[in-house]
Each structure stands twice: as structure tokens, then as C-alpha cells.
Structure 1
Amino acid sequence: METIQIANTGLTTSRIALGTWAIGGWMWGGSDEREAIATLQNAIEEGITLIDTAPVYGFGRAEEIVGKALSGGRRAKVLIATKAGLEWSNDGKVVRNASARRLRRELEDSLQRLRTDRIDLYQIHWPDPQTPIEETAAVMAEFLREGHIRAIGVSNFNPEQMAAFAAVAPLHTVQPPYNLFERGIEADVLPYARSHGLTVLAYGALCRGLLSGAVTRSRRFSGDDLRQFDPKFNEPRRSQYLAVVDELERLAQQRFGKNVLALALRWLLDQGPVIALWGARRPGQLAPLADALGWRLDAETMTEIDQIIARHVTDPIGAEFMAPPARELANS
């Protein structure tokens, strides 16, 4: 397993982390708790030492499952990264709330669900336009001084927001959407992270399964699965992106003896101080893990990948559809 140090924290972690949004079930068509626990424990056996979760993943369910899975001494083997700054109502409506009062309550709830006395990496899930960034950063700095957390991160922040945050509190990581198909951060967030010593936790590393090689043109998604509403999974874009996947599969097999999943993860790891978040929810999905490790893509292949994408995708789009709304002040 390849590892990386999170600067100024003393924390070292695997460069592949397990993301648990799908394990929480919400917006992924549900999940099986026994299978989810087996996946988490198998990830640790495979050398993954960072588990990334959030209260909103299943409205507490993902954190509870992580807590159960790490019992019996496994907690000491991993770093837990979770988040704060989103709240939900009984009808499942999610809004942003990163006020100091909300964050204090979320910290207490997360510690209880995770069955731990300290969170290794605590992240603000989304910037909250109704709360000054300085207020959010100040309470995160308090958590750090109090010893409740070991490192601070933000998710879905732009460079201006990160700069405002870092003026008040230490900032160690940023978590944006980033994969072969969603590369908007290359214009701003990634250069900022590189120049300021931040580690990037890339969520959506396989673009919600699109880069796994398992999605077909005929596959349908039901229930609350967010891919029903993802523009990449609807025509005409689905055919465009899957044409890229088909060509990348051939490239990976012919040049490296790998599959497209390994190629997509390797591409991500070769972009700098990046940790790839892999959203597996069944143990078998982790089987290809080793294929992404211990090698690098050459410059010629990097260029060819870009050419393949440009040839097929005529109307690229990012992950903007996933952004939760701001709350109204009357409900704060």
C-alpha cells in the first residue's frame, strides 16, 4: 500500500481510503449492514488505513456502521475522517449549517456514533453562505486545541474560501470531487493545495462507478439512487462517457495489463498529494485494489487519455448536481 503524510499533523495514511457514502445507503439504493461491516474490515486487511465518512451519509447510519466495524481493536489501525456542517429534517431535506452551535453538537454526536474519543480528521462538508467562515474556522480550531480532533479539513471549498478559513485556523486537507471525468479543480483548488501544502482527498474517484467498468448502456438505477439524476448517467452523455471507458479499458489492457478501474485510480494518484476515496460497499469490490498500486503512468499515456476523452465527450459536466442548498436564515 502506498502511503502519504498529511503535512503538519503527524498523520500518515494509505493513499487509497474507503469512502462510506454508499455504505450509509442514502442516495445509493440502500445497503446491507453485515456486508458493509465486512467491507470495512476487509479494507483494513487490504492495507487501507483511512476511513472517510459523514453524519449525512444515511443520516447517521454510516458513522454507526463504521463504529461497529472498528470494534475489537481495529480502531487503533485506522484514521477516521468525518465531516460536519450539514443538517437534515425528518423528511430527508438536507441544508448547509456550519454555525458554531451546530458544529459543537455534530462533534458530540459523531464521537458517540463512531465509538471513539477523538476524530483524526474533521472536515467541513460544504461552505455555508449563512455563517461567516471565520466563525466556522474558529470553532474547528477550538476542537483541535481541546484534543477532540487531530487535523482539520474542508470539502467543496474554493481557494478564496480556503484562504479565509486558514487565516483563522490550521488547515490540512481539502476534499473536492476529482476523477478522470470531473477535473474542474485543476484550474484552482489543486494548484492552491499544492502551493499551500494541503493533502487532497479526492471523492468520486471512480465517478460514482462510471470508471469501474461495471456500468453498461442498458443499466438502470432505481429507488433513491442519485445516479438517476446524474447527467453523466443519462443520454446523450452516458454513451459518450462509456465510449471513453471502453477505449480506456483497451488502452489499460494493451499497455499495462490492467483494467480501466486500475487505470483511473492510478491516474488520480499520479496527480500529486492526492488520496483516492474508493466508495466500495461489498468486500469483493476491493479485489482490484492492488492493481492500482506500485506503478506510474508515463507522460505519453497521460496525453493519450486526454485525447480519448476529448474525442468522445462533446459536452463535459462536473459534479455540481450534488451540491446541497443553503438554509434559510429563519430556519437557522
Structure 2
Amino acid sequence: MQTRKLGNSDLEITPIGFGSWAVGGAGYAFAWGEQDDQESIEAIHKALDMGVNWIDTAAVYGLGHSEEVVARAVQGWSGSKPYVFTKGGLVWDENREINKVLRADSLRRECEASLRRLKVDAIDLYQIHWPTEPNDPDEDAEGWRTMAELQREGKVRWIGVSNWNVRQLEMAQGIAPVTSLQPPYSLINDEVEGEILPFCGQNGIGVIVYSPMGSGLLTGGMTKERAANLPENDWRSRNPQFQEPKLSRNLAIADELRRIGEAHGRTAGEVAIAWTLRLPAVTGAIVGARSAKQVEGVMGGGDFRLSDEEIARIEALRGRE
């Protein structure tokens, strides 16, 4: 795959990175359900074999488990070592309840814990997972100052944020340069097009989007029956996008993506990913997979380019002809 420079960093990343949210397995509020670790490792290896050169994870995914699985996969990989990106700022207690904490001492403890779980001397890109909620500008600023300190100390190479808005990005830029933003972006969640993507483009902030396939809705493999039978320990079972009236609209979009993909021997998921990568402001897309077979059906989206006519067909689905 071709690579793109991420923001102000020296990281040259492939248009697609492997997303490790589901790799964390079950047992916490935002889980995707049960997951076999060996299948996760095989999926990561398949993605790396297809040319992907970065893995995105987070401390909270599986309450530390995803980072451990990523470490095992990287250690067992004989090729060029991929970049490993992770996130902090969400902490859990003995009851597995998750809270947003960006205080300096907490963020430092999280960074050290991630370094141990990932078995690395420095994290390639360390990101604040969420701003505080309800928004506490002082705590957000304290968290970002701490990130800059961790970078100066060599514990992390580059620093970014996830799920921050323009006002929060402006605050952070006044403290230390933001290497990257990680927002949700897909055909069913395109809010970042209004202000956030233009701001990042104008300020040299790299953008790596998550859920480009709508958390599975746009892969072509989701059906009404499957959505209705998602297990309770899969967070999507509680998401309105997987319920009516939104579900039917989302599946209609997936059908059109499938038709476009069939003309090129591509999957609906690859078309969905290619759509998010059509904008210059988007550096890369995080693509999750739970098995090597799933990897084969989506990772090709990084090198696929849609024609103007195909983009127009997709835009028509959003009422933006």
C-alpha cells in the first residue's frame, strides 16, 4: 500500500490501519462480545501480510486485554514491525466501571501500564481517548500538558486526541502541537465534515477515522435478522443505528455499496472505506476485523479509488447530489 505522512510526525502510515476494539473481547460496557485471542492474532498477522503498517488499540478495550493481544501479535510477527497506536484517559475500577480522567497522575499511570502491556519502550502515537464529560476545560488542558511532557520524556513519540471538537483542538494547539485527531466518520456518521475536517486540514493535523464501515453496518454482511439477534454483551445491540427506523436506511446504503463494489470485484466494506478516504483531510482509516477471513474482505479498501460517478451515486443516498 502507498503511505501518507501523519500530521506533523515522521510516521508514514498506510491508508488503512488495523483496529483492535473488538480484539479486547467481552466483559465490559463497550465490548463487541466474546472473541478468541488466537483468531485476533491471525487477523492482525493477515492485515500485516497485506501491507498494513499500523495497529490502533486503547487501554480500555477489554480493560487492558486488547493491548496484551496486540503485543503478542507483534512479538510473533517476523516481518517489519508495525507502528502501534494506543489511547488513554478512560480508567476502570474494581467493578469494571469506566470513567473519563485526564489528571496528570492518572494519565501517567495509564501510559506506564500501556507500555508494560504493549512491551515497548515508547508508544508510536499516544492519544487522549475522550475529552472529559461534562466538559472540564481545565482537566482537558492538564491532560494535554501531560501528553506533551510524556512526549518530551520519550515515553511516547507523537501525541494526538480522539473525539475532540474544534474548540478543544484550538485549546490543545495553544499548549503543544496536535499530531492527529481520531474521530468517527462514515456514511452514517458524517458530522466531522462540517467543521472538524476543514480545521484539521488547515492546521496540519492528521486524521485517522474510526468506524468507517459503521461498526459493521456497511460491510454487506449485516441483516435485519442479525441486528435483532446481536448478543447483549455486544454494545451494538443498544445502538439506535442498529434499530428501526435507522436500520433499514443503513442497510439500503450497504446494498448500494455492494452494487458499486461488484463492478470492481470489491466488497461493500471496501467501498465504504474508500469513500472515507476520498477527502485529502483524511490520512487513514481504522478498520477492525475479528478473523483473517474478515481482513481479506476489507483491507483492500485502502488502495481502492472511487470514480466521480460512483461518489455521486453514494452522495445521492445522503441527499447531497
Residues 218-238 of structure 1 deviation map (CA, whole Å, 9 limit, x = unaligned): 111013101111111111211
Question: Residue 72 of structure 2 aligns with which residue?
Answer: 68
CA distance in 1, matches of 2:128, 2:302: 29
Question: Residue 192 of structure 1 aligns with which residue?
Answer: 199
Q: 1:168 to 1:75 in 2, by over 3 A?
A: farther
CA distance in 2, matches of 1:222, 1:268: 29
Aligned pairs for 1:1-332 (under 5 A) are 1-26=1-26, 27-72=31-76, 77-128=81-132, 129-130=135-136, 131-219=138-226, 220-254=229-263, 256-272=264-280, 273-289=282-298, 291-310=300-319
Residues 5-64 of structure 1 deviation map (CA, whole Å, 9 limit, x = unaligned): 113221111110011010001411121111111111222111111100001000000001
Aligned letter for 1:297? L
Contact 1:156 1:174 in 2 (8 A): yes
| Percent identical residues | 38
Aligned letter for 1:144? Q
Aligned letter for 1:171? V
The secondary structure found in structure 2 opposite 1:38 is helix
CA distance in 1, matches of 2:19, 2:265: 27
The secondary structure found in structure 2 opposite 1:51 is strand
CA distance in 2, matches of 1:86, 1:205: 22
The secondary structure found in structure 2 opposite 1:244 is helix
* 1:119 shift after superposition: 0.1
Higher deviation after alignment, 287-296 or 22-31: 287-296
Contact 2:47 2:299 in 1 (8 A): no
CA distance in 1, matches of 2:268, 2:307: 16
The secondary structure found in structure 1 opposite 2:105 is helix
* 1:243 shift after superposition: 1.6
Residues 220-273 of structure 1 deviation map (CA, whole Å, 9 limit, x = unaligned): 10131011111111112111211221123223324x343311211111111223
CA distance in 1, matches of 2:147, 2:163: 17
The secondary structure found in structure 1 opposite 2:207 is strand
Aligned letter for 1:209? G
What's the Cα RMSD here?
1.7
TM-score (norm 2): 0.92
Contact 1:53 1:81 in 2 (8 A): yes
CA distance in 2, matches of 1:75, 1:250: 36
Q: 1:291 to 1:50 in 2, by over 3 A?
A: closer
CA distance in 2, matches of 1:293, 1:95: 34
Aligned letter for 1:191? P
Structure 1 unaligned segments of length 5 or more: list them: 312-332
TM-score (norm 1): 0.89
CA distance in 1, matches of 2:101, 2:79: 29
* 1:190 shift after superposition: 0.6
Contact 1:268 1:274 in 2 (8 A): no
The secondary structure found in structure 1 opposite 2:214 is coil
Contact 1:87 1:94 in 2 (8 A): yes
Give aligned pairs, total: 310
Higher deviation after alignment, 26-35 or 57-66: 26-35
Contact 1:199 1:274 in 2 (8 A): yes
